Structure 1
């Protein structure tokens, strides 16, 4: 015999039970990747009282820097302007602001796909007229492949945690999770400030790329009985 009220009560009970018998764990996975390319920020900074003359001087030196990059086999598409600024400069004497001239700054972002040339690129840029090397960022050209490896490790880590918890409580874990949420964010490695003192070295500037650590984090929800 069909009892609508009884069936509704049972459905609510099973729903509450399913909601109650859940555990949520987080998992983290990390892989190390050897960088295979470098992103360098190189600039030309100069000052002059005449704006047009200061701009021309900056443009000439920047063109020489770009030519130096091209001579090393850097592709034109791997050289791009990251910033260009013109700022008036002042001296302050006896509480008064006295105009000194203009400061022109042109920053280039250069991607070096042959990481072994990183030191040579910096030295060539400086020899060509660059007087600012503000940062170096070592990256991998295919970060998604490493991130997916880290993501797999994160899921395995979460699963192992859930199994351990289920054993500790003496319950049976359902192996297939009901919710898997990716909570990590793949971020590029932080740029490394470049020490200006290194520009004075006569030998090729030594650059150590080290390793990138790529981490993934997930939140996984399991049911158990």
Structure 2
């Protein structure tokens, strides 16, 4: 099984060095590799915030609209496993009241409920349509939009190999430049920084309604992944 991305370290160590070990004379280099690719999916968290005088009424109003968003995900062909509730909030609401003497105090003002659902959408071309239709279904919040890769560990493993090849090529060039021959590998350590889990582009943002029927414009961009290895090779005159 591939190692986890965060803190990934590969280490090939030579046998304990002796006084005449070939690695007493070594070239140390850093190999690098990078890749840029479009995301495989978007993870969108949308929700509904509602207010009412009773807690049940507030929660029912929010939940009813979110049920429409969940149904929308199913209509778009999103698997059940890629649709899930991300948050349910119910709390007393207050409002500021200014008294005749000029003081301001908080006064109970019913209840506020919020219900949010996260949809993982593989068909990136329908992302703007999903947000528009979610609004039509009753959503009034976009809590986050993130993009990710289906197999980031595979990306990291490929970049580790490419970075190791780059390290050897750099070492060979240096050895040739000083009239030496590149020998065996003495040590190799590397770390990857392939795509992290989806990160929110916006948080706790209220959705501003676009013109009726207009898709919400979303640009997914690309996901950058990088890897580095530090290598040491023996050299001989």
User: How far, CA to CA, are the matches of 2:208 and 2:172 in structure 1?
Assistant: 53
Q: From 81, 84, 87, give the equivalent of 2:88.
A: 84
Higher strand share: 2
Q: Residue by residue, what CA displacement relative to the aligned partner does 1:129-187 show, whole Å, maximum 9, x if unpaired?
A: 1111233222333334433332222112222222233334443321x423222212332
Q: From 166, 179, 185, give the equivalent of 2:193.
A: 185
Q: Quick check: 1:44 aligned with 2:48?
A: yes
User: How far, CA to CA, are the matches of 2:180 and 2:231 in structure 1?
Assistant: 17
In 2 relative to 1, CA 139–130 (structure 1 residues): closer, same or farther, beyond 3 Å?
Answer: same
Q: CA RMSD in A?
A: 2.6
In 2 relative to 1, CA 87–158 (structure 1 residues): closer, same or farther, beyond 3 Å?
Answer: farther
What is the CA distance between 1:197 and its match in structure 2?
Answer: 6.6
Higher helix share: 1
State the number of aligned residues.
212
Q: Residue by residue, what CA displacement relative to the aligned partner does 1:63-101 show, whole Å, maximum 9, x if unpaired?
A: 121112212222221111222222333334424332223
Could you say which residue in structure 1 is the equivalent of 2:67? Answer: 63
User: How far, CA to CA, are the matches of 1:79 and 1:108 in structure 2?
Assistant: 7
Q: Quick check: 1:223 aligned with 2:234?
A: yes
User: How far, CA to CA, are the matches of 1:100 and 1:40 in structure 2?
Assistant: 31
Which consecutive residues of structure 2, in runs of 5 or more, have no partner in the other structure? Answer: 1-16, 98-102
TM-score by length of 1: 0.80
Is the radius of gyration larger for structure 1 or structure 2?
1
TM-score by length of 2: 0.77
Q: From 111, 123, 129, give the equivalent of 2:132.
A: 123
User: How far, CA to CA, are the matches of 2:18 and 2:154 in structure 1?
Assistant: 44
In 2 relative to 1, CA 50–198 (structure 1 residues): closer, same or farther, beyond 3 Å?
Answer: closer
User: How far, CA to CA, are the matches of 2:171 and 2:201 in structure 1?
Assistant: 39
In 2 relative to 1, CA 168–117 (structure 1 residues): closer, same or farther, beyond 3 Å?
Answer: same
What is the CA distance between 1:33 and its match in structure 2?
Answer: 1.6
In 2 relative to 1, CA 222–12 (structure 1 residues): closer, same or farther, beyond 3 Å?
Answer: closer
Which consecutive residues of structure 1, in runs of 5 or more, have no partner in the other structure? Answer: 1-10
Q: From 221, 225, 228, give the equivalent of 1:210.
A: 221
What is the CA distance between 1:196 and its match in structure 2?
Answer: 5.7
Q: From 94, 98, 105, give the equivalent of 2:107.
A: 98
